[in-house]
Structure 1
Amino acid sequence: MIMLFDANKRLLHTGDAYPDTVQLPKGDFTLRLALRHESMELLEKLRGTCVVMERSLDSAVTVPVYGSHASASSAGASAGEMFLGAGERVALWLGAPADDKLPKDAKEGRVLSGKLTLGQLRRGSGAAPAEHALRYVVPPAVNKDAQSNGGAAKKKDEPEEEKDAATKARPVSEALRDAKLALMKDLRADKDAATYDALAAELRAAHPGHLPLLLELLRRGDALSKDKGAERLSQIIAAADEVVAAIDATSLAAFLALRAPDEATQDAAGEGGGPSYKAQKKRWDEAKAALLEALSKKLEAQLDQADLQEKEAPGTEAAPAAAAAATSARLRQWVDTASDAAYVLLHSRVEARAGRLAGALKALDKAEKAAEDDGKPPKKELAEQRAALLGRLGWGHWARYEAARTRARFPGAFPPI
């Protein structure tokens, strides 16, 4: 028995020993296979059984046809139309499809299968009834660097020399800082907290205000277990504030407001001794990305704080709710949270907290549509928010339907085989 599941463990298809077809959207899927037999010895031999999967191509791959072996070997002119009489024969050679025409996932060893048909004129246009099966095994990719071309080898060596020169010119302190920062990313687990905190304190003292370090501290707080509750949320907000404080928002806005100069002006700016426009743009783009990440994580933490406070003390005026509204307003200065797929879920939570339930529901629809277009699996959190919003709107029937639909779409575990 074969059972096919989506990323949320929802059963999509069942099959048996006979091949079957199923249409799937973009995304990740899990295939579970069960082989049954009364002999355990035979089952052990089948433990390494391979599953063969076939899929239809979006567009057909054309196989070139040549009239001679020489043309096929040199990828010369393809064979044109040929008119054959009864009993007449002709030899044809098939060439390899062009590499750029193959599917993107056509890796070495994969097999493309199709058919070859011939036209007919006596009984009307169209293909002749006879078909010939074709199978093409994708060969290894051409290694252009291994070709015996002196110019190509020279070009390959040049970036390495430039990289070595840049590495030598780089201060040792910066190299050590980046190495320690890379090590911190592998020490986020609770068991390595002491080592992580020691490295963080050392780097803070030596490189205060270093943006990648502050971002790492923010991401570490966000990666903490949600069981830590208020402690985790406070840590995220504090780390986000440090990131925001390290960025000159006024200079960032001034740079983004300017139009990009033409290439000649960019080169002249670099030759004048100052940083080139490309270097400035890269620095400010990184600063903007860091600012958006900090504000979005801070807003999410403040919304969680407000929800937590309402559960612990219902009816009290929540200070985190006001802080979340202020952070949301600041985030909207840099990005349209209502239309950007990366922030639309936060926008929905802000709208719901402000009492604009219809706007929150509309934002959830956008978030679900954006995830579907990107081939991402639906989120259970989004479905639960939708059911809660429908309940707050007084649409009890729709709320119950959405809750039942959520249970069906997001089962807790795989069903038994």
Structure 2
Amino acid sequence: MANNNGTCLKSTNPWFNTKGELCSQCSNNLIFWFKTASNGEVELGEGLKIGFHGININREAVVLDGSEAPVRIESKALLSSEKLVPNAILNKIRSPYRPIESKITTLPKDRDKLPSGRQILALTLIYKFKLEEAANIKPHFPLLNNRVYDTKFESQFYMISDSNKHVLEMISSSALFPLQRVHTMGDVYPKSTKLPKGEYTLQFYLRHDNVQYLEKMKQLVLFVEKKLEEKDFIRLSFFSQPDGPVTGSGNFTSSVLIPGVLEAFYVAPPTKEKIPKSCQAGSVLLGAISYGNLTLGVKEEKNPLKQTVSYQISYLVPPKIEDEKIKESFSTNIKNVSERLKEEVRDAKIKFFGSLKQNTEEERSEWKELCASLKSEYPNYTPLLAKILEDLLSRSGDDEKIRYNEEVIDAANEVVASVDKDDLAKYFSVKSDPEDEEAEEIKKKMETTREQLAQALYQKGIALAVIDSLKHKEKESIAIPKNLDNKTDESIPDSSGQFDMFEKNFKELKKWVDMKSPKYCLLLVLHEKRSGRLGTALKTLTDMIQEEGGPPRKKLYDLKLSLLEEIGWKHVVSYEKQWMHVRFPSSLPLF
């Protein structure tokens, strides 16, 4: 025990104070005993001994520079023989980002003007990053974080929100409006937080009265540190010779150090197979390295993070090896130069076509002209037709909703017609040889074609549901005045044909994909709703929302509200509407 001021009291454990720190009196005694130790041990009398253990290492932080070369580490025992058992893991990814937008604003004069007359300015930096799966992340600004009293800047704040775009009205509008939800906020001391899969926006806020200082900070580097799951930890290998990582010989696991005798070993960088796919070039893998096991009477611990003493180790991620381009170069050698040139020109045209915008009428007119030209030049080319459909779906702000969705249906029909479904079905009925490179290339191409076919059928089904809903609303809007005159309006087309087309399209899509997968489940919900099975539709939609790994999508909750209203559960509708304000705030809070 120890009292609050850290001095020792008589007890069974008089070494530590209330904070778990070694008290000063005991620390002085240990220093004296260490200097007088013989063979690492000191006799205290009454059968008590104190043993000193330690391994001296020539470097505390180990940095692997991204090359294939290992790092040499020299070790030696200080007082007595020690068992050297090196262990190293990489458990974090630190990725760098530059801001995509920056702006300097003048703050209100009545509140943010100094007595000297200098006006305080605010710098806002906006960063975007993407998570392929849920993870614990921590933002870090090396220049500014963890400094309060010795920094020239003030009011460091950051805010992380999801940057997904949600459709406000799933089947009555094609316009996209950003709805952002704040996941975490922080200041000069950033904290770790768990985020689901998705795209995110980080806003950083900084104040100063000198505009030149803020101008220099407009390209401030942000580090996003992501923790790996324990199953994804990268364990590093050790060798007794520098060529070990290449030859595979001379593995180093443990050794007994003799006092005063130097022993060297090498820590190898991770192999390319172990590096996470989401890890971009320029990122840094961080972890810990330990050299001995200080736990007595327990099984040796191979995780350096759980050791009493560990040091930092880092690995700079080099540029990736472009295997696909290398394989492509081998495969294209079979074709002659003219064929290869035609394919390169075709792919370049499609890539340029995909970069065109459709924000104005003039841009849409140019897009349509190039679209017609490419379709006549490369008829029934599925990747081109799939790109046209993709561009149509990305268009926003179209007022004529029925005409727009009819264009989507026509584009989807062209994709479906360009695919030889019989050949596709025959191919997937037989397994391919995974060791045959040519067979793997064909498999990849066939899987892409199947994906394009399924996406076209899915988007066609959504567009058919949208048109059917719009026509149904038109009927309802004129039903009351027409009923007063006891007349029927023959100008409104019957939607029964639309229903048959939807069912036919739905059955075709079921042949190629699992309708319960998150990618296509929305069409299954609409199918159940149109069939009058509202309870099944609600259950399917609820399961889909719960299984989604990313931030919540507003269109799914809007559809859930419409189903609840049709069922007649008004109390649940009222409850869900209140939660909508929490899930999808209309604007971000101020700093």
TM-score of Structure 1 vs Structure 2, range by shorter chain: 0.7 to 0.9
Is 1:309 aligned to residue 471 of structure 2? yes
Name which of 531, 534, 548 aligns with 1:357. 534
Structure 1 CA distance for aligned equivalents of residues 429 and 308 of structure 2? 66
Structure 2 CA distance for aligned equivalents of residues 298 and 62 of structure 1? 48
Name which of 302, 307, 324 aligns with 2:502. 324
| Equivalent position SS for 1:20 | coil
Name which of 337, 349, 366 aligns with 1:168. 337
Amino acid of the structure 2 residue aligned with 1:341: P
Name which of 341, 349, 355 aligns with 1:186. 355
C-alpha change, 1:287 and 1:397, in structure 2 (3 Å) is same
| Equivalent position SS for 1:328 | helix
Match of 2:458 in 1: 296
Match of 1:71 in 2: 241
C-alpha change, 1:162 and 1:392, in structure 2 (3 Å) is closer
Structure 2 CA distance for aligned equivalents of residues 382 and 294 of structure 1? 21
| Equivalent position SS for 1:71 | coil
| Equivalent position SS for 1:34 | strand
Structure 1 CA distance for aligned equivalents of residues 192 and 327 of structure 2? 51
Name which of 520, 526, 535 aligns with 1:343. 520
Structure 2 CA distance for aligned equivalents of residues 144 and 242 of structure 1? 33
Note the alpha carbon deviations across 1:39-92, whole angstroms, 9 max, x for none: 6666556555544544444335545567xxx636756342524377xxx45545
Q: Give me the identity figure in percent.
A: 26
C-alpha change, 1:362 and 1:41, in structure 2 (3 Å) is same
Amino acid of the structure 2 residue aligned with 1:16: D
| Equivalent position SS for 2:362 | helix
Q: CA deviation at 1:279?
A: 8.3
User: In the alignment, is the contact (CA less than 8 A) between 1:5 and 1:29 conserved in 2?
Assistant: yes
TM-score computed with the length of structure 1 as normaliser: 0.74
C-alpha change, 1:136 and 1:352, in structure 2 (3 Å) is same
Match of 2:573 in 1: 399
User: In the alignment, is the contact (CA less than 8 A) between 1:384 and 1:403 conserved in 2?
Assistant: no
Report the more deviating stretch, 304-313 or 242-251. Answer: 242-251
C-alpha change, 1:167 and 1:378, in structure 2 (3 Å) is farther
What 5-or-longer segments of structure 1 have no aligned partner? Answer: 146-155, 268-275
Structure 1 CA distance for aligned equivalents of residues 430 and 307 of structure 2? 63
Structure 1 CA distance for aligned equivalents of residues 221 and 340 of structure 2? 53
Note the alpha carbon deviations across 1:110-162, whole angstroms, 9 max, x for none: 262435363347x65478996253343426469899xxxxxxxxxx9997476
Match of 1:215 in 2: 386
What 5-or-longer segments of structure 2 have no aligned partner? Answer: 1-156, 165-179, 480-491
Is 1:2 aligned to residue 158 of structure 2? yes
TM-score computed with the length of structure 2 as normaliser: 0.55
Match of 1:387 in 2: 561
Is 1:131 aligned to residue 309 of structure 2? yes
Q: CA deviation at 1:221?
A: 3.4
C-alpha change, 1:248 and 1:80, in structure 2 (3 Å) is closer
User: In the alignment, is the contact (CA less than 8 A) between 2:534 and 2:563 conserved in 1?
Assistant: yes
Q: CA deviation at 1:27?
A: 3.0
Report the more deviating stretch, 75-84 or 292-301. Answer: 75-84
Amino acid of the structure 2 residue aligned with 1:351: E
Structure 1 CA distance for aligned equivalents of residues 317 and 371 of structure 2? 49
Structure 1 CA distance for aligned equivalents of residues 243 and 448 of structure 2? 51
Q: CA deviation at 1:18?
A: 2.3
Note the alpha carbon deviations across 1:152-189, whole angstroms, 9 max, x for none: xxxx9997476355252528777665554444333452
Structure 2 CA distance for aligned equivalents of residues 143 and 181 of structure 1? 26
Matches within 5 A, 1:271-286: 285=447
C-alpha change, 1:167 and 1:408, in structure 2 (3 Å) is farther
User: In the alignment, is the contact (CA less than 8 A) between 1:113 and 1:134 conserved in 2?
Assistant: yes
Q: CA deviation at 1:382?
A: 0.6
Quote the RMSD (CA, aligned, Å). Answer: 4.2
Match of 2:589 in 1: 415
Match of 2:407 in 1: 235
Amino acid of the structure 1 residue aligned with 2:536: G
User: In the alignment, is the contact (CA less than 8 A) between 1:65 and 1:93 conserved in 2?
Assistant: no
Is 1:244 aligned to residue 416 of structure 2? yes
Amino acid of the structure 2 residue aligned with 1:325: E
The structure whose residues are more often strand, as a share, is 2
User: In the alignment, is the contact (CA less than 8 A) between 2:234 and 2:270 conserved in 1?
Assistant: no
Amino acid of the structure 2 residue aligned with 1:3: M
Structure 1 CA distance for aligned equivalents of residues 374 and 251 of structure 2? 65
Q: Compare relative contact order (CA 8 Å, sep 6+) and give the higher one, 1 or 2.
A: 2
Amino acid of the structure 1 residue aligned with 2:566: R
Q: CA deviation at 1:212?
A: 3.8
C-alpha change, 1:412 and 1:141, in structure 2 (3 Å) is same
Matches within 5 A, 1:78-97: 78=252, 80-82=254-256, 88-89=259-260, 91=262, 93=264, 95-97=266-268
Note the alpha carbon deviations across 1:16-46, whole angstroms, 9 max, x for none: 2224232333333322222345666665565
Structure with max Cα Rg: 2
User: In the alignment, is the contact (CA less than 8 A) between 1:6 and 1:29 conserved in 2?
Assistant: yes
Q: CA deviation at 1:370?
A: 4.3
